[in-house]
């Protein structure tokens, strides 16, 4: 049997839209991107959504918005030590300095008790990550942010379907960044989305994704229909607004074909989330059998974990290595992923920041001892039972 980590959902609706788009010859950012933004914002529960070319760009551009609201280059953003490297990369790409805080091993998320010690006069924002769809402790994080006049930008790349105290992940900070990469519940193949309730943030995002140009209307008649724009020469007859650049920007637009794939995914969102959540809960319940040697995350009374994937962490008493278990699973057709790493101390690219091994013991433990497997909608109980039976067989051979 095979248990692949993920799947890609390209619906018949998406295929029909793609054919229509190709026949129209209007392939760049246009009306279908606008439609995806509107529907995505409605799904998450925010007023605004801005489509971008990747989830990493979503993180980076959300942070870059802050330059219009008092931040300066080189200011600091507090992030969890444990995450996919995109989180730290995006902070640097936005022109800020990442300052890392250790995690709580039980939640995999940033430990609010570690945030206060990381705040300096240069701190401008906190970027919590809802790792594996487990909501971060947003009440505590928002209290710290409010007390220190900091922005909160959620990294919600894995947060689809997650809820915290009755609210959707993505609605709990000033902005939230989602990934639309193929590994996620909603995909455009590549892509990202920033959601917010603040129209002034969305306006800046639309400028940032197109090189920082002054064009930042929600709907661009020049881009969509080559129509007349009465704002085109608002800066004077020799200054076409499309070539007036108000800020340092990015090239991060989503195209129409990608949007078409995303629109099809939105139609299937609820049944996909339901199936994935069933799979996640099934594994969470069944894995209690291995609790002596292997841990996973728990769902608290005030939250719903987004069904991104199923994390597994070797306990300290386990007398086997992660690679022994994952290699055993891979040989049996069960695809695994490591549970990321401590960015500042286990990812060579961040070495220049000067952190040293031991600075983030909880994140480093997960980086050495954690992995995850898929719970996607094409998996059934036979796949999940096969995975758990394989773990059981491994343990029977390796526990002394």
Look up 308 and say whether it is catalytic.
no
Enter the tokens of residue 221.
């008649």
| Angstrom distance (rounded) from CA 81 to CA 87 | 10
| Angstrom distance (rounded) from CA 51 to CA 195 | 9
Contacts by 239-244, CB closer than 8 A, 24 or more apart:
241/213, 241/214, 241/215, 242/213, 242/214, 242/215, 243/213, 244/213, 244/214
**Rg of the chain in Å (alpha carbons):** 22
Which phi and psi (to 5°) does residue 153 adopt? -120, 115
| Angstrom distance (rounded) from CA 131 to CA 120 | 25
Which phi and psi (to 5°) does residue 333 adopt? 85, 15
* Length of the chain, in residues: 400
- Single out the residue of 340, 303, 342, 365 nearest to residue 137, CA to CA: 303
Residues near 130 by beta carbon (within 8 Å), at least 6 away in sequence: 109, 136, 154, 155, 156, 158, 159, 162, 169, 306
220-259 residues labelled b (16+ CB within 10 A) or e (exposed): bebbbeeeebeeeeeeeeeebbbeeeeeebbebbbbbbbb
Q: Containing H/E element for 76? A: strand 76-80
Choosing from 184, 372, 376, 383, the catalytic residue is 184
Catalytic residues: 184
């Amino acid at each position: 049997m095979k248990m692949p980590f993920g799947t890609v959902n390209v619906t018949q609706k998406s295929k029909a839209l793609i054919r229509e788009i190709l026949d129209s010859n209007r392939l760049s950012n246009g009306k279908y991107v606008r439609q995806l933004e509107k529907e995505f914002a409605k799904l998450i529960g925010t007023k605004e959504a801005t489509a971008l070319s990747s989830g990493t760009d979503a993180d980076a551009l959300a942070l870059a918005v802050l330059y219009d609201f008092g931040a300066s280059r080189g200011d600091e953003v507090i992030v969890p030590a444990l995450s996919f490297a995109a989180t730290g990369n995006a902070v640097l790409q936005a022109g800020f300095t990442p300052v890392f805080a250790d995690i709580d091993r039980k939640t995999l998320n940033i430990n609010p008790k570690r945030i206060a010690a990381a705040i300096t006069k240069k701190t401008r924002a906190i970027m919590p990550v809802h790792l594996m769809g487990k909501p971060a402790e947003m009440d505590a994080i928002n209290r710290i942010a409010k007390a220190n006049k900091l922005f909160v930008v959620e990294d919600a790349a894995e947060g689809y379907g997650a809820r915290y105290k009755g609210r959707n992940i993505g609605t709990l900070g000033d902005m939230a960044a989602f990934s639309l990469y193929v590994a996620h519940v909603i995909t455009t193949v590549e892509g990202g989305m920033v959601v917010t309730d603040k129209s002034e943030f969305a306006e800046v995002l639309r400028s940032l994704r197109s090189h920082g140009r002054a064009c930042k209307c929600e709907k661009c008649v020049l881009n969509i229909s080559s129509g007349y724009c009465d704002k085109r020469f608002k800066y004077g007859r020799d200054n076409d607004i499309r070539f007036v650049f108000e800020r340092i920007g990015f090239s991060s637009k989503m195209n129409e074909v990608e949007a078409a794939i995303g629109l099809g995914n939105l139609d299937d969102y609820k049944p996909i989330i339901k199936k994935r959540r069933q799979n996640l809960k099934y594994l969470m319940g069944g894995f209690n059998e291995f609790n002596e040697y292997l841990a996973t995350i728990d769902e608290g009374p005030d939250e719903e974990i987004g069904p991104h994937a199923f994390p597994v962490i070797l306990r300290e008493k386990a007398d086997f290595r992660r690679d022994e278990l994952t290699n055993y699973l891979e040989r049996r057709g069960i695809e695994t992923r490591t549970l990321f790493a401590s960015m500042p101390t286990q990812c060579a690219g961040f070495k220049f920041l000067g952190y040293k091994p031991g600075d983030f013991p909880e994140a480093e433990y997960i980086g050495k001892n954690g992995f995850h497997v898929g719970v996607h909608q094409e998996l059934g109980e036979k796949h999940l039972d096969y995975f758990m039976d394989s773990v059981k067989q491994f343990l029977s051979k390796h526990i002394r």
